[in-house]
Amino acid sequence: MKKTSGRLADGREIVYYDLRDDVTRTAADPRPMPPVEARSEIRHDPLLDDWVGVTAHRNARTYHPPADECPLCPSRDGRHSEIPEADYDVVVFENRFPSFHGAPGAVQHADPAGLFRHAPGAGRCEVVAFTGDHRASFADLDEEQARLVLDVWTDRTAELSATPGVEQVYCFENRGEEIGVTLSHPHGQIYAYPFTTPRTARMLDSLAAYAERTSGGNLFDDLVAAERAAGERVVLQGEHWIAFVPYAAHWPYEVHLHPVRRVPDLPALDEAARAEFPAIYLELLRRFDRIFGPDEPRTPYISAWHQAPLAKGDGARRAAREEFALHLELFTIRRAPGKLKFLAGSESGMNVFINDVPPEAAAARLREVATHG
């Protein structure tokens, strides 16, 4: 993998990741662009003890451009996009409309009681374009290209983890207009948060409670072992990875993909797990595209890497980090052909999910649509 860093016309960083070492990246961005004006703020919700981003500048972001104006396609035939080069393997660049941006700052109080706390929405948001082919999807990539994307996620996680003020790095892909995607080009994003996300915080609390209850047991290890032993929800497994529908799946079709050897984040994966990942992950994505039959071949999904938050010198947090298990959660909001799972009153209002597809039935369907056999 060859890595080449450059700058776009407005000063944002762009990084090319190439499979060949002899590729040269020298194209300049000729677009007349003003500097990025991102005013990100985070505000604390005292009832739920979590942070909410407030980002008025994102209302101006690009929304469903036609294919011939796609900002993620290479720059060709006199049309200039976010990627100045005429082709690329994988490219990463800073989002022009970031949810989190800039240097960290102190938490401030907007009222005498300290109920209204706020701080700069520090961090960084990046776009990851998986391929220059506008018509493709991640599932269309070959294993070499999918491995390159894994290496890119790993490299960006390592770099962003060293950024001042960043507490957690989140690599993810949204696919499909039903999910809310505004650019149809195959791509994902990476968020470097200035806090530990609420979902991760709940997992850490559950880990700690389970360890206390079981005199040191690891909840992730025991859950994966229990799913393997039960077998009925296992979708596929290799030597280094196992994928299963969780016992209490929230979404109609939801798969959790774990490395067999528990690690806290992507940089901690060993080479054996890295080498096996592309075949396992591509097979999962291709099965998702077969769930609802040939009339709906591209299932909308979210693919989310859960990584441990950073410790950064805190002994207790460092110990908790080592207990966390890197895993990928892949799920769709489609529950049946032509029907979507909407987050309605119970889910949105009370965060109580109601799943119409039994996890065992979902796992059986995902085994049924295997590529081979």
Q: In which residue ranges of the chain is CATH 3.30.428.10 found?
A: 2-195, 199-368
Residue numbers annotated as active site: 187
Query: If you classify domain 2-195 with CATH, what class do you get?
Result: alpha beta
- The owner of tokens 């047991």 is 217
pLDDT score for 57: 86
Look at residue 149 in the predicted model and tell me its pLDDT: 98
What secondary structure does DSSP assign to 103-166, as a single string?
-----EESSTTS-SEEEE--BEEEEEE--S-TT--GGGS-HHHHHHHHHHHHHHHHHHHTSTT-
**Residue 70 marked ligand-binding:** yes
CA dist 154 → 115, 146, 282, 326 (Å): 38, 13, 18, 12
Number of C-beta neighbours around residue 335 at 10 A: 18
171 is in an annotated binding site: no
CA distance 155 to 316: 26
Residue 186: per-residue pLDDT: 97
pTM of the predicted structure, to 2 decimals = 0.96
In tens digits, the chain (373 residues) has pLDDT values of 999 999 999 999 999 999 999 999 999 999 999 988 888 999 999 999 999 999 988 887 777 888 889 999 999 999 999 999 999 999 999 999 999 999 999 999 999 999 999 999 999 999 999 999 999 999 999 999 999 999 999 999 999 999 999 999 999 999 999 998 989 999 999 999 999 999 999 999 999 999 999 999 999 999 999 999 999 999 999 999 999 999 999 999 999 999 999 999 999 999 999 999 999 999 999 999 999 999 999 999 999 999 999 987 677 778 889 999 999 999 999 999 999 999 999 999 999 999 999 999 999 999 999 976 4
Q: Strands 241-244 and 253-259: what pairing? A: antiparallel
Identify the pLDDT of residue 372: 65
Query: Which pLDDT value is given to residue 121?
Result: 95
pLDDT tens for each residue of 351-366: 999 999 999 999 999 9
Q: Which residues have a Cβ under 8 Å from the Cβ of 129 and sit 6 or more positions away?
A: 72, 83, 88, 90, 91, 92, 185, 186, 187
Q: Which fold has domain 199-368?
A: HIT family, subunit A (3.30.428)
Q: What is the pLDDT of residue 312?
A: 75
What does the pLDDT read at residue 99? 95
Distance separating alpha carbons of residues 38 and 97, to the nearest angstrom: 7
- 250-279 pLDDT, tens digit per residue, is 999 999 999 999 999 999 999 999 999 999
What pLDDT does 153 receive?
98
- What confidence score (pLDDT) does residue 313 get? 67
How confident is the model at residue 59, as a pLDDT?
81
